[in-house]
Structures are given as C-alpha cells and as structure tokens.
Amino acid sequence: MIDERAQLGENVQIGQFVVIEADVYIGNDVEIDHHCVIKEGTIIEDGVKIKSFSLLGNSPVKNKKMARKPREDLQPLVIERDVVIGSHVTLYKGTTICEGALIADHVSVREQTKIGKQSIIGRHAMVEPDTFIGERVTIQTGTYVTGGTTIEDNAFLGPCCAMSNDKYMASGRGHHKGPVIREGAKIGHHASLLPRVEIGKGAVVGAGAVVTKDVLPDTTVVGNPAKPLITKK
C-alpha cells in the first residue's frame, strides 16, 4: 500500500503488507521487510535496511494528566544512509539517525533526538526526547536513556542501565535535565544515574552502581551510593 505521492529510488525492495504514506522519500538500494509502516514525510536515504513490524515517523501522543505536552511542529524523521533498523522498532518524527547507525529490535526512540554515526542502540533500549547521542556510542540491550541526556562519542553503556532527569519526581519543580556522559566513559550493566550527574571522560561506573554525584574523569566508582573504587595494594 504505497501512496502515489511517495518517492522511491532505484532497487528498493519492499516486503508484504508494507504501508508507505504520502511524501515519504526513499533513496536507492533500500530494503523494507514485511509489515513495516513508514509515516508521512519520513526521509530514508540510500542503503538503509529495515526489518519487519517497524514504525518510522510516529507522532507523539498526550493525555490531560501530562505535565509537559509534546511538541507538535516536528520536522520529519531522517534515516541517513546505511542505517540498519531491526524489527518492532518505533522511531518518532523530529529525530535523526545518522549514517551507519544500528537500531536493534524492539527499540523505541522519541522525537528531537540525534543518534550519531555508527552508534549502536541495543535491543529493547528506550531513548526519550531531546537527547543527543554522539558517534560510535554503544548502548546495550534494555538500557533506558532519559530525556535531555548528552552522551558523547565512543561512550559505552552496558545492558539494562537506567537514569532520570527529574530530581523532584513530577512535583513541577526544577528543569528536567538528564546525565552528561563524556567521551569514552563506560557504564556497567544495571547502573543507575541520577539527574544531571556528569560522568567524566574515560570514567568507569561499575555494574549495579547508583551514581548520585559527578564522577571525575578516568575514575572508577562502584556501589550504592557509588564511591570511588579503592584499589587494594
């Protein structure tokens, strides 16, 4: 079911039961597997591959209870060249997935987010709005990236990490801001990062640590609350 106002390049392979809405742009050599939905206006560059049951270009929803209504004037979703997208993925409008990135199965990425070149977003990972992820970043399976987070180039987040951006937990106080993870920092699996903490360049957060304060560059922290690791001599 391809809308006649969609524009398709050469050598595009489209599976069964795919929906491509109006004003979608698809470059050359793109593979779209069975049952994908590409919403109006989405831009997909050359060489992109998309597995089954993925929804590209979704719009935010809201209800009365929501404190912060999502933006409605979003730009199209842009999928740059050679990106690979798994199955059952949801990507929102207003987001850019840069060249060669890999978005694995069951991932959802909200609006106004940038995922840098060659970065990997592991299966079932969740990325909130207004987040910046640099180049060659690895975010492993099941990790949650809160809204307003910055993750610099070459950082590594192990599986099932979590963080938040709201110190006062929906009290309506304060500005929402997520952690800052500096270049090449490594976060162990199942670690928790409190709002606004900065994980310094090259720092290491141990598995299961709860980070309540900034971590200095090239420092390793562990425990709940996380403290610098004292190496036994």
Measured from the CB atom, the residue of 11 and 224 that comes closer to a copy of itself is 224
Contacts of residue 159, Cβ cutoff 8 Å, sequence gap at least 6:
122, 140, 141, 142, 143, 189, 190
Stretch that binds a copy of itself, among 5-13, 22-30, 72-80, 141-149 (CB under 8 A): 141-149
Among 14, 27, 78, 90, binds a copy of itself (CB under 8 A): 90
Residue 84 interacts with a copy of itself (CB under 8 A): yes or no:
yes
- Find the binding residues for a copy of itself in span 118-137 (CB under 8 A): 118-120, 123-124, 126, 128, 136
Residue 58 interacts with a copy of itself (CB under 8 A): yes or no:
yes
Pattern 207-226, a copy of itself, x by CB under 8 A: xx-x-x---------xxxx-
CB 150 within 8 A of CB 183: no
Residue 41 interacts with a copy of itself (CB under 8 A): yes or no:
no
End-to-end CA distance of the chain: 67
Among 6, 8, 25, 35, binds a copy of itself (CB under 8 A): 35
- Find the binding residues for a copy of itself in span 1-20 (CB under 8 A): 1, 15-17, 19
- Find the binding residues for a copy of itself in span 170-189 (CB under 8 A): 170, 186, 188-189
Residue 149 interacts with a copy of itself (CB under 8 A): yes or no:
no
